[in-house]
Amino acid sequence: MFNRNFSVRRLPGFGAIAIFTFVILYLPIVILVVFSFNSGLSQARWEGFSLQWYEAAFNNRQVRDVSIRSLWLALVASGLATVLATLAALGTTRVSRFPGRTMIYALINQPLMVPEIVTGIALLIFVAAIKVQTGYTGMGYLIAAHTAFCIPFAYLPIRARLETMDITLESAAADLYASHWQAFRYITLPLLVPGIVAGFMLGFVISLDTVVITEFVKSAGQDTLPTYMLGQLRRTVTPEMNAIATLFLALSLCIVTAFFLITRKRGA
């Protein structure tokens, strides 16, 4: 048997399985998007192009409210988380070992390791107790919970950026008469910006996606887009939900693409 195309990288059948996996991953999403433009109610029978479900979604007061709440919550929480994570990254990178460092890492990464449902009910219990004590039922709980949850995600790219940064650059700045603050202001911070932007974007997407924690922390009338959708899924859903999901997907896609481009460029 002669195989002119022998390649050590080829394993028979793997390509087919990979394509199958990609199709499986994308087909349901494609169907979801396509039928958001269907003029009928079906998810399988195409009855003609229509934007009526988008129109319905836009005219749905509740959808508008929860979308706006989701966006500003994500903005506030990821903004806070980015500031805190930047400080934490500066505090934990390139320092000599100090007692409690492992503890700090564990605390920062804790939201990544503990299942969301556990964090969710823990916050439910905690928030319930505070509500009884203080009577406060505002958005503060959600902001705090989302911020804490976003910190590890914002921390990762910022820390990675700091660790790959050439430490001699700061030495060079000090050698050229820069004070600690000037070295930070003119050298470290500008070089850290891509990491900070990436951290903010990750935090934003994570906050936007978080459903379990929000579900357990929210007070009445504090639904976000994901918890609203979760509630709606119990009923018979119309393609209006497809339209909402499609818009949501488009937003995530934009952010992820931007994130991808930023982190790619760093390598060059």
Partner 1 sequence: MAEAPERHGWKWLLCAPALVVLVTAASGPLLIVVAYSFLTPGNMGGVVWEFTLEAWFRVFFRRDIFDPESITFNQAHLTVYWRSVWLSLQTTFICAVLGFPTAWFIATRPPSSRTLWLFLITIPFWTNLLIRTFAIQEVIRNNGTINTVLLQMGVINQPIQMMYTDFAILLGMAYVFMPLMVLPLYAAMDKLDFRLVEAGYDLYASRVQVLWHVILPLVKPGFIAGSILVFIPAIGAYVTPRVLGGGRTMMLGNLIALQFGQGRNWPLGAALAMLMLIIVVGALVFYLRWANREEARNV
Partner 2 sequence: MTAQTKPDSAEIEIRDLSKVFGQGAAAFRALSEINLQIRTGEFFTLLGPSGCGKTTLLRVIAGFEQPSTGSLRINGKEVAGLGPNARPVNTVFQNYALFPHMTVAQNIGFGLKMQGKPRAEVEATTAEMLSLVKMEAMAERRPSEISGGQQQRVALARALAPRPRVLLLDEPLSALDLKLRKEMQSELKRLQTETGITFIFVTHDQEEALTMSDRIAVMSAGKILQLGSPHEIYHAPSERFVADFIGDTNFLDMAVKAVNGTVAEVTLPGGKPGTARLPEGFLPVLGETVTTVIRPEQVQMVDAGQGDMDAVVDNAVFFGTDTNVHLRLDDGQGFVLRRQNSAETIEPDAGTRMGLRLSPGALRVLKG
Binder of residue 123, out of partner 1, partner 2, none (CB less than 5 to 8 A by kind): partner 1
CA-based nearest residue to 74, from 158, 122, 142, 152: 142
Q: Which is nearer to partner 2, 187 or 245 (CB)?
A: 187
Contact status: 166 vs partner 2 (CB under 8 A) = yes
Q: Which is nearer to partner 1, 32 or 191 (CB)?
A: 32
Handedness of CA 255, 260, 263, 268 (dihedral sign): negative
**Stretch binding partner 2 (CB under 8 A), from 6-14, 52-60, 154-162, 172-180:** 172-180
Contact status: 261 vs partner 2 (CB under 8 A) = no
C-alpha to C-alpha distance for 165 and 175, rounded to whole angstroms: 17
SS3 49: strand
Rounded to a whole number of angstroms, the minimum distance from the CB of residue 176 to partner 2 is 3
Whole-angstrom CA distances from 243 to 59, 65, 127, 193, 258 are 12, 16, 34, 35, 23
Out of 107, 139, 178, 255, name the contact with partner 2 by CB under 8 A.
Answer: 178
Four-point Cα dihedral 71, 216, 28, 206, nearest 10: 40
Binder of residue 172, out of partner 1, partner 2, none (CB less than 5 to 8 A by kind): partner 2
Binders of partner 2 among 184-203, rule CB under 8 A? 186-187, 190-191
Binder of residue 111, out of partner 1, partner 2, none (CB less than 5 to 8 A by kind): partner 1
Out of 43, 110, 164, 179, name the contact with partner 2 by CB under 8 A.
Answer: 179
Binder of residue 175, out of partner 1, partner 2, none (CB less than 5 to 8 A by kind): partner 2
Q: What are the backbone angles phi and psi of residue 38, rounded to the nearest 5°?
A: -75, 140
Whole-angstrom CA distances from 253 to 62, 137, 203, 209, 256 are 24, 33, 14, 12, 5
Q: What residues form DSSP beta bridges with 38? A: 49
Binder of residue 179, out of partner 1, partner 2, none (CB less than 5 to 8 A by kind): partner 2
By the criterion CB under 8 A, which residues form the site for partner 2?
166, 168-169, 171-179, 182, 186-187, 190-191
